[in-house]
Amino acid sequence: MIISEKIMSLRKQYGWSQEELADLVGVSRQSVSKWEFAASMPDIQKIIKLSEVFGVSVDYLLKDEMDLPESSKVASTTDIGADNDNHIRTVSLEEANDYMADTEKHAARIAGAVSLFILSPVPNLIVEAMGRANDGDILERLSIAFLCLMIGAGVALCVLSGFSMSKYEYLSKEHIKLGYGVEAAVKRKYEPFKQFMGQRIAGGVFLCIVGALPSILFDDSDKYASGLAKISAPIMLVLVAAAVYMFVKVGIISSGYSKLFQEGDYTPEHKRVEQKMEPFAGIYWIAVAFIYLIPGFLLGYWNKTWVIWPVAGVIYGIIYKLYEMHLKRKCDK
């Protein structure tokens, strides 16, 4: 096939009109029509753009005798999912790089917000350790004010970061295809990140173990260790907050790579589940936050209520898997 026939064949396989292809390449519909009827040839920049849009090599477009590799062939509608949507959005290298740069910033903000939630009771616990936890004491009032400010700052970080990432929602909801050469470029960045992620997870686990030691070693009943026992809870929360920061940050960045590769929780099938679960997830995590805060405020169990977060994560995972199985059975019928 010559280049005109290849352009027409690929466009039809994707189910695009000449106008839609023209919009993706940045030319007029008449230009696409001329290319397909061999009335004109696209210049080298447009050929490169066509290769990105179709997810094929430049060599394939230019060499008449070269066939499309099996691994590069356009997915059929049955590959895309139960929604029968044959539109595949192609992600360019520039889009992928911008997305990962913004994801790293987003990960730092969300990890910082979660750490603030965990650290919020620390000022109040320190005041209690000082024996100043009286309603009329200025330090007690300041500690409550700091708690509210830290929670407010964490919520603000989550909201602002969520808005900044809203332009990339299509990666979580639409079926995508990485342009020619994009997957290889992204994988070159992902390989060193995997080693970095392993180091951070190991460091976080170590901090969690160390954080539990003060409460184990020091007992309130021991008059010599009672002073140290009082500050064991703040120390534990600080270390746990640092560990959670590491876990959340690398987790979000890893999730960003998974979205581009459409792996793990971001296959087309999982994307359908996520869309169905989205309203529930928002209500669920708000409820978890209230469950975390209420026992702390009413009973002062700040050194114990942090356990709510990992438990809530496990419960959410179970609910997610059960719902995924339900949808799969529904689709199989």
Q: What is the pLDDT of residue 81?
A: 40
Rounded Cα gap, residues 331 and 333, in angstroms: 6
Q: What is the pLDDT of residue 99?
A: 92
* pTM score: 0.60
Q: Which residues contact 222 (CB under 8 A, 6 or more apart)?
A: 229
As a whole number, mean pLDDT of residues 217-237 equals 67
Q: What is the pLDDT of residue 119?
A: 92
Q: Give per-residue pLDDT as tens, 281-303.
A: 778 888 887 887 777 667 766 66
Residue 328, pLDDT above cutoff 80: no
Residue bearing the bigger pLDDT, 65 or 201 = 201
Rounded Cα gap, residues 17 and 23, in angstroms: 10
The pair of structure tokens assigned to 88 is 């595949």
3-64 adopts what CATH topology?
434 Repressor (Amino-terminal Domain) (1.10.260)
Q: Quick one: angle between helices 3-14 and 29-36, nearest 10?
A: 120
Domain limits, the chain = 3-64, 91-261, 267-333
Above pLDDT 90, what percent of the chain?
A: 21
Q: Which residues contact 111 (CB under 8 A, 6 or more apart)?
A: 244, 245, 246, 247, 248, 249, 252
Q: Give per-residue pLDDT as tens, 79-128.
A: 434 343 446 788 888 888 899 999 999 999 999 999 999 999 888 888 87
Residue 212, pLDDT above cutoff 90: no
Residue 233, pLDDT above cutoff 90: no
Enumerate the H helices of the chain as residue ranges: 3-14, 18-25, 29-36, 44-54, 58-62, 77-80, 93-119, 122-129, 138-164, 170-173, 182-217, 226-230, 232-261, 268-299, 302-305, 308-332
For Cα atoms 115, 121, 123, give the angle at the middle one, nearest 5 degrees: 105
